Amino acid sequence: MVIGVLALQGDFAEHIDALERLDVDAAAVRLPEHLDELDGLIIPGGESTTIGKLAAAYGVIEPLRRFGSHKAIWGTCAGAILLSRDVHRQQPLLGLMDIKVERNAFGRQVASFEADLEIPALSQVEPGGGLYHAVFIRAPLIESVGDDVQILAELPDGRIVAVRQGKLLATAFHPELTVDDRFHRYFLSMCNGI
């Protein structure tokens, strides 16, 4: 299995490290041809406007849309923003997921925070694994979701921070920055068609 990581801007190196720790082949993706032969793709955190503009400049927007129409993609933070269809402003988006997102929903960089979340879907990869420690950095919120979207995680006040729609996964937080590898394993199971 080979998993690509979109490597235009942001913390792609941390995702590549996380995949390699799980003995999965990871490939940096910058050009359309890099998507050939991949079993799944991760779009990392970073700055979504910059990633979107670079993706347009490198000619990968349409190839990413085609890829996401039949293969697994996971967007973390800025990556989740790119997967969405609406962010209340003009910026390049893939529009693959039926979710509306509010960027920087928790304020500026200093308002970054961590939270322990109950994420029942993770018991699929590790029964009884316990709470998931999630790191939020200038994070977006998933404001509303369409009927086909499954909510995987919410903050204690009910705000949505992780969702899945078929083979597409979006998390407002950064699993690549912690040692807990359950989210990467969950995504790998999606790439395997589970």
Question: For residues 33-52, which are near ligand GLN according to CB under 6 A?
Answer: 45-48
The pattern of x and - marking residues 88 through 107 that bind ligand GLN according to CB under 6 A reads ---------------xx---
Stretch that binds ligand GLN, among 32-40, 57-65, 133-141, 181-189 (CB under 6 A): 133-141
Q: Which is nearer to ligand GLN, 85 or 125 (CB)?
A: 85
Beta carbons of 167 and 124 less than 8 angstroms apart: no
Residue type, 161: V
Count of residues interacting with ligand GLN (CB under 6 A): 12
Q: Which is nearer to ligand GLN, 24 or 101 (CB)?
A: 101
Does position 72 bind ligand GLN by CB under 6 A?
no
Tell the smallest beta-carbon distance from residue 26 to ligand GLN (Å). 19
Tell the smallest beta-carbon distance from residue 85 to ligand GLN (Å). 16
Q: What is the DSSP letter of 49?
A: H
Tell me the HSE value of 54 on the side-chain side, using a 13 A CA sphere. Answer: 16
Tell the smallest beta-carbon distance from residue 122 to ligand GLN (Å). 21
Q: What is the DSSP letter of 101?
A: E
User: CA angle, 159 as apex, 155 and 164 as ends, to 5°?
Assistant: 90
| Residues carrying an active site annotation | 77, 174, 176
Tell the smallest beta-carbon distance from residue 150 to ligand GLN (Å). 22
Q: Which is nearer to ligand GLN, 148 or 153 (CB)?
A: 153
Output the 3-class SS for 119-171: CHHHHHCCCCCCCEEEEECCCCEEEEECCCCEEEEECCCCCEEEEEECCEEEE
Instruction: Report how far residue 165's alpha carbon sits from residue 185's, in angstroms, rounded to the nearest whole number.
Output: 17
Instruction: Report how far residue 178's alpha carbon sits from residue 18's, in angstroms, rounded to the nearest whole number.
Output: 9
Q: Give contact residues for ligand GLN (rule: CB under 6 A).
A: 45-48, 77-78, 81, 103-104, 137-138, 140
